[in-house]
Structure 1
Amino acid sequence: MKKTILLLLFIGTLLSVKAQSVTVRFSTNMGNIDVMLYDETPKHRDMFVKAVKKGWYKNAQFNRVIANFVSQGGELDDTILNREKQHPELGVKRFPAEIKASLFHKKGALGAGRDDNHEKASYFTQIYFVAGKKRSDEELDAIEKKRNRKIPADQREVYKTIGGTPHLDGDYTVFGEIVSGLEVADAINAVPTDKNDVPLKSVVFNLSIIRK
């Protein structure tokens, strides 16, 4: 009964989002994950679609996996920052943030990675899936106090029943969510890793647009 209730809550969060125009498939060596890109973040949606079409994520890897937190894919921070350091003539390229209060870090959300730039602008070639964990009222109260930000009641309920990483809200652009294959994302987030959070066995993925 409990599992049924949680499933209904998860489906409810999906249905609460208006029908979106683009779905992207992550074809991994552990199974497929289908992700609905938000029309509420059109610039990130279009940027990501462009990246898929150009093959920027061809044979990419989930190269930083932290259990119950996130599974990060694409280029690592060090790879991007070292390239920029070695080629200053190319400049530092970031994508303007599209942070929306209604799009939050619930389990299954797709976010854009970034460095610590003040504009909170995104990398072009790094994404992450939110794994997170269920949060208690006490934990959510503490996050609200620390960040001086009220968590809306509906988001609070999701964090309590489904899980996520609420302390990332407001700092990173969330631009999509998993609509199929959440169990695959969970399996990826549970793979053994080394001390640097790198999977001991490569988790490779390719991307394709399956609906537009």
Structure 2
Amino acid sequence: MKRIIFSLFLVLLVTQVKAQSTFVRFMTNKDDITIMLYDETPKHRDMFLTGIKKGWYKNAEFNRVIKSFVSQGGELDDTILNREKRHPELGAKRFAAEIKPNLFHKKGALGAGRDDNAEKASYFTQIYLVVGKKQTDAQLDAIEQKKNRKIPAAQRAIYKTAGGTPHLDQDYTIFGEIVEGMEVADAINAMATDKNDVPLSAVVFNPVILSKKQATKFQQQLKKKKIYTHE
């Protein structure tokens, strides 16, 4: 496994929050990606951990990859919606949104996929990793005007230097971020795809919950490199 490289880019990438307690490693056939789950979104954190333990993401795939946007993994929308159509008696089960103003779609963010339900509730078995692109002030100004919301200065700075997908903010739940292996996520997002954004070569991943000892080691590494900038 490649060693952790902490740079100014990563310092900008990581959310300004208190040290988090839960880490998950996506073991892919391209290399590994380690993700820190946010304690600020405990319901999504626990829902994802439960899904991992129950095997919902065993041999899952990044099955919808849109370059410079996101890499989506788990079940596709059509798979979920068609199953619900075949079994209307089960209803359309969604997970209540946990949208926080300080958790946003910067590069490396982990989000929960959803359909167009008015409550912005999440699917149980679909996630995505944000790649996005760097934004200009003009682009951010246009998003502010369209969505009638102000983008905080600190978030603007990250969108301008590291990148992301700011037009998705406040519409989807963000519940974690990459702390190791962003280069792997970039490589996955750059893969050749067909007209439906499906990678021509399958990208399989198996998420593994890091032990308490492993998580503590990660916390120490992040703090040593002053990744956590707000207590």
SS at match of 1:188: helix
Per-residue deviation, 1:7: 3.2
Task: Provide the residue aligned with 1:196 in structure 2.
Answer: 196
Query: Which amino acid in the other structure matches residue 141 of structure 1?
Result: D
Query: Which amino acid in the other structure matches residue 198 of structure 1?
Result: V
Q: Which runs of 5+ in 1 are unaligned?
A: 1-5
Q: Which runs of 5+ in 2 are unaligned?
A: 1-5, 213-231
Partner Cα separation in structure 2 for residue 91 and residue 134 of structure 1: 40
Q: Residue 75 of structure 1 contacts residue 125 of structure 1 at CA under 8 Å; is this kept in 2?
A: yes
Task: Provide the residue aligned with 1:57 in structure 2.
Answer: 57
Task: Provide the residue aligned with 1:20 in structure 2.
Answer: 20
Question: TM-score of the superposition, structure 2-length normalised?
Answer: 0.87
CA RMSD of aligned residues (A): 1.2
Q: Residue 26 of structure 1 contacts residue 32 of structure 1 at CA under 8 Å; is this kept in 2?
A: yes
Q: Residue 99 of structure 1 contacts residue 174 of structure 1 at CA under 8 Å; is this kept in 2?
A: yes
The C-alpha deviation readout for 1:35-76, integer Å capped at 9, x for no partner, is: 000000000000000001011000000000000000000000
Partner Cα separation in structure 2 for residue 81 and residue 12 of structure 1: 37
The C-alpha deviation readout for 1:99-126, integer Å capped at 9, x for no partner, is: 0000000000000000000000000000
Question: TM-score of the superposition, structure 1-length normalised?
Answer: 0.95
Partner Cα separation in structure 2 for residue 76 and residue 70 of structure 1: 14
Task: Provide the residue aligned with 1:84 in structure 2.
Answer: 84
Query: Which amino acid in the other structure matches residue 195 of structure 1?
Result: K
The C-alpha deviation readout for 1:137-175, integer Å capped at 9, x for no partner, is: 011011111111100000000000000000000000000
Task: Provide the residue aligned with 1:3 in structure 2.
Answer: none
Per-residue deviation, 1:13: 4.3
Q: Residue 74 of structure 1 contacts residue 126 of structure 1 at CA under 8 Å; is this kept in 2?
A: yes
Q: Residue 21 of structure 1 contacts residue 211 of structure 1 at CA under 8 Å; is this kept in 2?
A: no
Query: Which amino acid in the other structure matches residue 204 of structure 2?
Result: V
SS at match of 1:200: coil
Task: Provide the residue aligned with 1:93 in structure 2.
Answer: 93
Per-residue deviation, 1:10: 2.6
Matched pairs, number: 207
Quick one: structure 1 residues 11 and 198, their matched pair in 2 at CA, closer, same or farther if it must change by over 3 Å? same
Does residue 187 in structure 1 map to residue 205 in structure 2?
no
SS at match of 1:18: coil
Task: Provide the residue aligned with 1:205 in structure 2.
Answer: 205
SS at match of 1:50: helix
Per-residue deviation, 1:14: 2.4
Superposition pairs of residues 53-202 of structure 1, within 5 angstroms: 53-202=53-202
Partner Cα separation in structure 1 for residue 129 and residue 198 of structure 2: 15
Point out the more displaced range, 14-23 or 143-152. 14-23
The C-alpha deviation readout for 1:156-207, integer Å capped at 9, x for no partner, is: 0000000000000000000000000000000000000000000000000001
SS at match of 1:47: helix
Query: Which amino acid in the other structure matches residue 34 of structure 2?
Result: D
What is the identity percentage for the equivalent residue pairs of Structure 1 and Structure 2? 73
SS at match of 1:105: coil
